[in-house]
Amino acid sequence: MSNITVCARFRPLSSKEKTNFGNSVCIRGIDSETFIFKDEKEEEFKFCFDRVFYENSEQVDVYEFLALPIIRDAVNAINGTIITYGQTGAGKTYSMEGPDILESDEHQKGLLQRAVNGLFECIKSSEESVKYTLKFSMVEIYMEKVRDLLDLSKDNIQIKESRVQGILLSGVTEISISDPAEAMQSLSSGIANRAVGETQMNMASSRSHCIYIFTVQQELNRVKRVKEGKFVLVDLAGSEKVEKTGAEGKVLEEAKTINKSLSALGNVINALTCSPGKANHIPYRDSKLTRILQDALGGNSRTALLCCCSPSSSNAPESLSTLRFGTRAKHIKASPRANSREENSARDHGASYATKVESSERIL
C-alpha cells in the first residue's frame, strides 16, 4: 500500500491580479515540500505536500516528478492516473496542455505532450520480444453526461461495471496510435471537439471534466499472455463555489452539477480516509466522475493529484479550499498491481477503463 502523490502548483500572478490587487501573494515557500499560507485574515497555515511547484517552476519539473514514474509503470501494465484540481484560472489546463496543445514551445509543453513522447520512449526502450499497442480515448463529463470527444455522435456513453472487467466506458472510441505525431493529432482533434461545444455551452472547457485515457497493451508471444496498463489524465472542472460566480440560469445549473460532482469526489476521499481499515461504504455511485475514477481512488492505480492555485491574496479562500482538498487526499492508500490476462480473453471486451485482472502480481 502506498499513499497517492499530492503536489501543489502555484502559477505566476496574472496581469489582472497585479493590476487589481497588486503583488500581494498568499504563500511563503519554506522548501520544495513545505510552505506557509496566509488567508485573508492574515492567519497562517503550514502545508506539506510531496512536492510544491512555485511560480517559477518549469513544466518539465512537473512532468518528471508527477508523470514519468507513472508512465514507466503504465508500460509495465500498472494503471496510473493524474488529476488536476483547482478553481478556474488556477493553471490546470496549462499544466496538462501548455498554452496550446500543438503550438506550445518546448519549455511550455504540458503533461500531455510530454506523456505522449514519454510513452513511446518507454516502449522503444523495452524488451524487443514484446509487441506493444498504444490506444487513446478521450471523453468529457458535462452535466452528468459522458461525451466521447473522438466521436461527438456518442454523447451519452454509459459507464458499466462488471465484477470481472471493472469499470467500462461502453462503446467509447479507441484510436490506435503508432507514433507521437499520430497521438498529437488525435489529442488535438479531441480538444477541438471540446472547443466546439464551448461556444454552445458557455465555456464548457472549464465547466466539464476532461479525461484522457492511454492504454498500453503488451503481447508476450512466448507465454501467450496480454498485459495492459492504463494511463489516465483528468483535467477537472473549476472547483470555485457557485455563490461566488454570480451565475444564473444555465450557467448556474452547470455550476451546481460541477459542485455536486466535486463534492462527490470529496465525499469519496473522506470515506476512503476517515476510517482506514474499516469496510465502510464508499459512495462512488454518487457521480459519473467518481464512478470513472473508482479505480484511481480506490485501489488498482498509482495516482497523483496536482492542486493548482493562484498565488494572489485575492484568491486566498479558493486556494485554501484547494489545498485542504489536497491534504485530505494525501491519506488515500492505493495498491496498484500489474495487470495480465490470457490472450484469448483479452480481446473484444469493448473499451474498458479498468482492466480485467485475471491474475495480479502485487507490487507494493
Binding site for Mg ion (CB under 5 A): 92-93, 206
342 by DSSP, 3-state: which?
strand
* By CB under 6 A, residue 230 contacts ligand ADP: no
The DSSP H or E segment spanning 116 is: helix 111-124
Of residues 18 and 224, the one with the C-beta less far from ligand ADP:
18
Q: For residue 296, which of 207, 171, 166 has the smallest C-alpha distance?
A: 166
Residue choice 5, 79, 81, 93 for contact with ligand ADP (CB under 6 A): 93
Residue choice 26, 82, 90, 297 for contact with ligand ADP (CB under 6 A): 90
Contact window for ligand ADP (CB under 6 A) among 88-96, 245-253, 314-322, 323-331:
88-96
* By CB under 6 A, residue 94 contacts ligand ADP: yes
Q: Any residues with CB less than 8 A from the CB of 142 and at least 6 apart, and which? A: 197, 201, 204, 207, 208, 254
Distance set, CA 291 to CA 25, 135, 169, 283 (Å): 37, 22, 10, 9
Of residues 97 and 228, the one with the C-beta less far from ligand ADP:
97
Residue 310 interacts with which of Mg ion, ligand ADP, none, CB < 5 to 8 Å by class: none
Contact window for ligand ADP (CB under 6 A) among 91-99, 214-222, 244-252, 333-341:
91-99
Of residues 184 and 203, the one with the C-beta less far from Mg ion:
203
Cα-Cα-Cα-Cα dihedral of 226, 359, 230, 269, to 10°?
170
Query: Rounded to the nearest whole angstrom, what is the least distance from the CB of residue 92 to Mg ion in the complex?
Result: 5
Beta bridge partners of 242: none
**How many chain residues touch ligand ADP (CB under 6 A)?**
15
* By CB under 6 A, residue 11 contacts ligand ADP: yes
Q: Any residues with CB less than 8 A from the CB of 329 and at least 6 apart, and which? A: 4, 6, 269, 273, 305
Residue that the C-alpha cell 479562500 belongs to: 317
* By CB under 6 A, residue 194 contacts ligand ADP: no
Query: Rounded to the nearest whole angstrom, what is the least distance from the CB of residue 205 to Mg ion in the complex?
Result: 5
* By CB under 6 A, residue 339 contacts ligand ADP: no
* By CB under 6 A, residue 202 contacts ligand ADP: no
- Using CB under 6 A as the binding rule, the residues of this chain from 103 to 162 that contact ligand ADP are none
Of residues 209 and 230, the one with the C-beta less far from ligand ADP:
209
* By CB under 6 A, residue 89 contacts ligand ADP: yes
Burial tier of 11 (Cβ tally within 10 Å: 0-12, 13-18, 19+):
buried
- Using CB under 6 A as the binding rule, the residues of this chain from 67 to 86 that contact ligand ADP are 86
Beta strands in 195-265 (DSSP E): 209-220, 225-235
Of residues 167 and 316, the one with the C-beta less far from ligand ADP:
316
Check: CB of residue 357 under 8 Å from CB of residue 341: yes
* By CB under 6 A, residue 12 contacts ligand ADP: yes
Query: Rounded to the nearest whole angstrom, what is the least distance from the CB of residue 362 to Mg ion in the complex?
Result: 36
Of residues 62 and 272, the one with the C-beta less far from ligand ADP:
62
Distance set, CA 43 to CA 174, 184, 317 (Å): 49, 45, 12
Residue in the shown chain whose Cβ atom is closest to Mg ion:
93
* By CB under 6 A, residue 288 contacts ligand ADP: no
Number of H helices, E strands in the chain: 12, 18
Q: For residue 185, which of 198, 176, 172 has the smallest C-alpha distance?
A: 176
Check: CB of residue 130 under 8 Å from CB of residue 122: no
Check: CB of residue 309 under 8 Å from CB of residue 54: no
Binding region for ligand ADP (CB under 6 A) = 11-12, 14, 86, 88-94, 99, 206, 238, 308
